[in-house]
Chains A and B, each alone.
Chain A
Amino acid sequence: AQKITQTQPGMFVQEKEAVTLDCTYDTSDQSYGLFWYKQPSSGEMIFLIYQGSYDEQNATEGRYSLNFQKARKSANLVISASQLGDSAMYFCAMRVRYGNNRLAFGKGNQVVVIP
């Protein structure tokens, strides 16, 4: 079974600083995808970034980058130059090929950006 672990307590980040959100995963499948979603206080789920298990380069999307360490089974999200609008819950999720592509979520990391 696939499992995602996010254990950091809530984080306060100074505006314009970078923040790293930890995510470790466990799966015996070789083919899988890792996703990060943002959930602001308004409640919607916003897709941020994707990393495939066979991708050799770390994924980047604007201010978001994914620090993918396959051997350690870790997929940390890095947000550079934090903005007040980055205050939200962030969820790491994994999709595996042989689980009917179901998406498994971690419990999330709370980030509060302070001016």
Chain B
Amino acid sequence: NAGVTQTPKFQVLKTGQSMTLQCAQDMNHEYMSWYRQDPGMGLRLIHYSVGAGITDQGEVPNGYNVSRSTTEDFPLRLLSAAPSQTSVYFCASSPSPSGVSYEQYFGPGTRLTVT
């Protein structure tokens, strides 16, 4: 099992550009989520999905879109990049949306810089 994979590892964008951060998991997990981590902060939830075709907003969704057409993939789209979106982005997955005991498995992260 590769677990949770994210591409790219690093990305530099200019203000106004759009891009998609890729996330895939091979564990057949129903629950997937995207977080951003800024210096001095914990991880903040951007969007999450409880299954294919179902997504919802987290704590900081503005400027980001997601879709979940398959169980395996959960891409995060930046519509028009802004310097405030400079951050480290983590994708995570979990076996079930209905159990509090399930840990989330994290990808290695994508470091994004918007100039």
Contacts and interface: CB of A to CB of B under 8 A. Distances in A.
Interface of A: 4, 6, 31-33, 35, 37, 43-45, 47, 50, 52-53, 91, 93, 95-97, 100-108
Nearest to A29: B100
Given A100-B50, A100-B97, A35 B41 contact: no
B101 A107 contact: no
Interface stretch (B17-25, B62-70, B102-110): B102-110
Interface of B: 31, 33, 35, 40-45, 48, 50, 56, 58, 88, 90, 92, 94, 97-106, 108-109, 111
Given A44-B108, A102-B48, A102-B58, A35 B103 contact: yes
A37 B36 CA distance: 15
A96 B40 CA distance: 24
A43 B110 CA distance: 10
A95 B100 contact: yes
26 contacts: A6-B42, A31-B100, A32-B100, A33-B102, A35-B104, A37-B106, A43-B88, A43-B109, A44-B108, A44-B109, A45-B90, A45-B106, A47-B105, A52-B100, A53-B100, A95-B102, A101-B31, A101-B94, A101-B97, A101-B102, A103-B33, A103-B104, A104-B45, A105-B42, A107-B42, A108-B42
Contact of A52 (B33, B41, B101): B101
B108 A107 contact: no
Interface centre among B40, B102, B111 (most CB of A within 10 A): B102
A101 B100 contact: yes
A103 B45 contact: yes
A60 to B, nearest CB: 16
A9 B109 CA distance: 25
B107 to A, nearest CB: 8
